[in-house]
Amino acid sequence: MNSLVPVLHPSQVTTIDVTQLHHDSHTRSVVVKTIQDACQKMGFFQVKNHGVSKEVTENALGSLSEFFDLPMDQKTIFLSDDVNKPVRFGTFPIDNLDRVSREFIKIYAYPIDDWIGSWPHNPMDFRENFGKYTMEVKRLSLEILGAIMESLGLSPTYLRSSLEQGMHMIVGNIYPQCSPSSNILGIASHTDHTIITILLESMSGLEIMDFTNNNAWKSVPETEGTLKVLVGNHLEVLSNGLYRSVFHRVTPSAQMSRVSIGSFLSLPMEEMVEPAMELVDEEHPKAYRASSLDEYIKFLFTKEEKSYIESLKI
């Protein structure tokens, strides 16, 4: 964590108890309103009592750490610059030196039976442990998205079928221990292309742009047992700008390596996302053009200076 960046006070971090979504209608409505406020003000919240067991999360992080500990020649089997490749390993060098700020592995995770056979088989429990986490976090994502849709005044099942059948990508990252004086970022500032991203991390390191405080950078404190939920570009589009995709970045730790798993949920690759017609009227005209995940991937190759979400604004 960057010692120069202030840490969000716990009162500034919205924490949702997922079990309360299953209580009486009044309790659920209060939780849904809390989610609405968090998505509007911060583009970010965290969840507890989410049903993904500690054993499942620890095993997934453990298998990921073991994968990154493998000799480089066993990891570069998956090395590729092809962003469409269903399993892809990569590194980010530091100033052309023989050091990296981040190693990652991206894997397609739905339908899991179609892809799991191509996932790393070393360590031996990688597929089993990652598979369990993948299925649990997909279930959780759909549950959270039901509440998010409801918070927009839409049906909890809005786009449910598309989201169930949509693109689910898991990205495992490791950020090597790094001197605090180096000012190296593990990942530079960006927004995610997704509907939502759910983040599991071994330790704190996530920093978000605080829209409520002159877009200042703030470190997100570690809260044991929670998962972070980030608003992505396509949720911003779907909400017609009511919710903002959160700018975020990662700083490595001076104490030890940091491992994280990002779960990225989107609509099917070529399905278009546009503002929900229920959220468009004379006072709130359509603010974004329709786009797809496939279009986003093509955008990455354009070298366009403006961000993807800015390119979608009408």
Pairing of strands 44-48, 15-17: parallel
CA angle 209, 88, 173 (to 5 degrees): 40
Q: Per the structure block, which two tokens stand in for 46?
A: 């965290």
d(CA 288, CA 99): 40
Q: Which of 212, 204, 214, 215 is nearest to 250 (CA)?
A: 204
Domain boundaries, the chain: 10-267+287-312
Judge contact between 102 and 174, C-beta under 8 A. yes
pLDDT value, residue 94: 63
Neighbours of 258 (CB within 10 A): 24
pLDDT value, residue 35: 98
Q: 269 Cβ partners below 8 Å, 6+ apart?
A: 167, 292, 293, 294
Pairing of strands 248-250, 15-17: unpaired
Residue tagged 């799991």 (tokens): 116
What is the dotted CATH code of the domain comprising 10-267+287-312? 2.60.120.330
Residue tagged 């049903």 (tokens): 51
pTM score: 0.93
Pairing of strands 258-265, 196-201: antiparallel
Q: Per the structure block, which two tokens stand in for 133?
A: 């986490």
pLDDT value, residue 243: 97
pLDDT value, residue 96: 52
Distances (CA, A) of 209 to 82, 88, 147, 152: 30, 29, 24, 23
d(CA 89, CA 17): 35
Q: What is the rounded (10 degree) CA torsion for 302, 306, 310, 314?
A: -80
Strand intervals (E) in 69-224: 87-93, 100-108, 168-175, 187-190, 196-201, 206-210, 216-219
Q: Can you spell out the DSSP letters for 231-295?
A: E-HHHHHHTTTSS-PPPEEE---SSS-EEEEEEEE-S-TT--B---GGG-SSSS---B--B-HHH
Q: Can you spell out the DSSP letters for 112-148?
A: HHHHGGGS---STTHHHHHHHHHHHHHHHHHHHHHHH
Q: Which of 6, 37, 4 is nearest to 243 (CA)?
A: 37
Q: pLDDT of the chain along its 314 residues, tens only?
A: 555 788 998 888 999 999 999 999 999 999 999 999 999 999 999 999 999 999 999 999 999 999 999 999 999 999 998 888 999 999 887 655 555 578 999 999 999 999 999 999 999 999 999 999 999 999 999 999 999 999 999 999 999 999 999 999 999 999 988 766 566 677 778 999 999 999 999 998 899 999 888 889 999 998 999 999 999 999 999 999 999 999 999 887 777 889 999 999 999 999 999 999 999 999 999 999 999 999 998 887 777 778 889 999 99
pLDDT value, residue 301: 78
Work out the angle between the directed axes of helices 126-151 and 54-68 (0-180°, nearest 10): 120
Judge contact between 193 and 232, C-beta under 8 A. yes
pLDDT value, residue 182: 62
Q: Is the dihedral of CA 304, 85, 164, 222 positive or negative?
A: negative
